[in-house]
């Protein structure tokens, strides 16, 4: 299973972005994989928030269009929503303490904890995920 960070979702839909093809290919490949795609609500909400905001896309999506894209992803046969398990708080705390900070890494640590809980590979263009021990991470377009 693969868990996409918000930047993959944004780049996969933004044809004007330099990372569009890599993000789109990563997401399509994840849907084709037997493990499928596990979505985190925080990433889906981040996608809707940022894709509809002026300054992120040259032409922001209408709210209806962003919701439609998110619904289409969730309707894929190999899509699921990952919810924190009873282990989440412990894993999240371990990741944040090891990183030595919370702040801007808190949401990243939440996504990393979800990926660890479900044995998923977290995909992102954000290299900050490399700091989380025990996380299986890949950046689209990079050989690992």
β-bridge partners, 38: 80
Query: In the CATH hierarchy, which fold is given to the domain comprising 2-138?
Result: Rossmann fold (3.40.50)
Ordered by start, the domain boundaries in the chain are: 2-138
Is residue 61 within 8 Å of 51, Cβ to Cβ?
A: yes
Which residue has tokens 């919701």? Answer: 67
Distance CA 38, CA 129 (A): 17
* pLDDT given at position 41: 98
* pLDDT given at position 72: 98
* pLDDT given at position 143: 52
Distance CA 20, CA 48 (A): 17
* pLDDT given at position 115: 98
Q: In Å, what is the CA distance from 127 to each residue of 16, 17, 41?
A: 22, 18, 21
Low-confidence ranges of the chain (pLDDT < 50): none
Distance CA 107, CA 74 (A): 21
Q: Which pair of structure tokens corresponds to residue 79?
A: 């899509």
Helix ranges restricted to H, the chain:
6-13, 20-32, 41-51, 63-75, 88-99, 106-118
CB atoms within 10 A of CB 76: 15
* pLDDT given at position 104: 82
Distance CA 132, CA 27 (A): 22
Which sign does the torsion angle of CA 19, 64, 35, 106 carry? positive
Per-residue pLDDT of 95-117, as tens digits, reads 999 988 778 889 999 999 999 99
């Amino acid at each position: 299973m693969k868990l996409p960070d918000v930047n993959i979702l944004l780049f996969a839909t933004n044809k004007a972005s330099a990372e569009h093809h890599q993000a789109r290919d990563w997401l399509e490949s994840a849907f084709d994989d037997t493990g499928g795609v596990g979505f985190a609500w925080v990433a889906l909400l981040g996608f809707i928030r940022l894709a509809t905001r002026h300054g992120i896309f040259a032409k922001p999506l209408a709210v209806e269009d962003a919701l439609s894209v998110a619904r289409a992803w969730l309707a894929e046969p190999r899509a699921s929503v990952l919810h924190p398990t009873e282990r989440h708080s412990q894993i999240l705390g371990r990741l944040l303490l090891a990183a030595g900070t919370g702040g801007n890494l808190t949401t990243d640590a939440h996504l990393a904890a979800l990926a660890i809980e479900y044995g998923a590979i977290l995909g992102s263009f954000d290299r900050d995920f490399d700091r989380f021990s025990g996380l299986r991470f890949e950046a689209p377009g990079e050989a690992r």
